[in-house]
Amino acid sequence: MDARTTHALAAETLTAEGEVGIVTPQRIAFPEGIDLTCGQRLAPLEAVYETYGTLAPDQSNVILLCHALSGGAHAAGRHHPDDRKPGWWDLYIGPGKALDTNRFYIICINALASPYGTTSPLSIDPSSGQPYHLNFPPIKVTDWVELERIVLDALGIQRIYAVVGGSTGGMRAFEWAVRYPERVQKALVIAAPARSSPMVIALNHIQRQTILMGLEYGGVEGAERGLMLARMLAHISYLSEPALWSKFGRDTVPEAEFWSVTYQVESYLEYKGSTFLQRFDPFCYLYITRAMDNFDLGYTYGEGDLRRALMRVQARMRFVSFTSDWLFPPAGQQEAVEILQSLGKPADHVVIDSPWGHDSFLVERVKPQLKPVIKEFLEE
């Protein structure tokens, strides 16, 4: 497969697809906690996870699915029959789908510092009896991987058939292949590089400052308004210029006020900001975006040399990028692929021509492009 060209897999007819149905979140406690990369011990610790499919007797069919920044363990199915929406990757998980639950046992673990049940800045600090908030210890992507590891260990799972993730989930998938090479057979890294770029760090810094300034001048209410603004900026980085033209153009809203919402794109961003506030938390957002900034596999495992770090990899790896993704553009993944290939490691790079930017991995808007790429890699 040519790593420099758009993947040409035909969008073959997939087998009949079904739903995973009603799923129940599961919780696991670790009273002794874990040692974080910052040197602090976080205890007690809880993690929330969901599973889909049936675990093979020999545990040979485990797929670890790693969610992105605002995702959580609820990747597929519904918690209640009247839920408005299914899990965040329901399009790809289920009988006959890309992550086929007739074949695989999929586990998705809510990341450390996320507000969806795993220990986070919202949890109670045992030393004060109050929520941690800004007293939560610093975390890195490595700590996310370590949380996933101890959950898998507690479940008796030692070998992972494949680890799959997009965006910050792709960072975890990549780090799994480097940190625990003997445990991972395949790794699928979607829209994520081996290190965060200065552009990503800059965007995250501005987002955090909106939250911190809001907190300083307006307390928790100010921090929440800051989170809305941060999400608006972040959401722009998930899209692309063609996507914005296609969705909104220069259309205006009725009865617009000069200093208020005038254009449809402004109305959309306000909506995205307000709905995000209903499901996320500003303190969690601070910690998660800083963990993104610190992600650098070359620094963590190769003393600054990415080639040295990637020498550790044993897994068969596939990287997927999208042509219009300017947050994590294809060049970042191509660098890692070329290093892996030069080391004789089995790795390829699939570049999908999509106008929908970084968010392309979350939904197939026109025809299946990502589905066959995932399915072929997992089932080959």
Which residue from 179, 36, 26, 190 is spatially nearest to 116, judged by alpha carbons? 26
Note whether 63 and 101 are within 8 A (CB): no
CA distances from 299 to 75, 169, 197, 306, 327 (A): 31, 19, 13, 7, 21
Which residue from 211, 204, 214, 167 is spatially nearest to 333, judged by alpha carbons? 167
Q: Which residue has the tokens 């900034």?
A: 293
Residues designated as active site: 167, 325, 358
- CA-CA distance, 364 to 326, in Å (whole number)? 19
CA distances from 149 to 83, 172, 241 (A): 30, 11, 39
- Residue 95 class from Cβ within 10 Å (0-12 exposed, 13-18 middle, 19+ buried)? middle
Name the DSSP class of 314: -
Residues 6 or more apart whose CB falls under 8 angstroms from that of 220 comprise: 282
CA 94, distance to chain mean position in Å, is 19
Q: Which two tokens stand for residue 338?
A: 């070329």
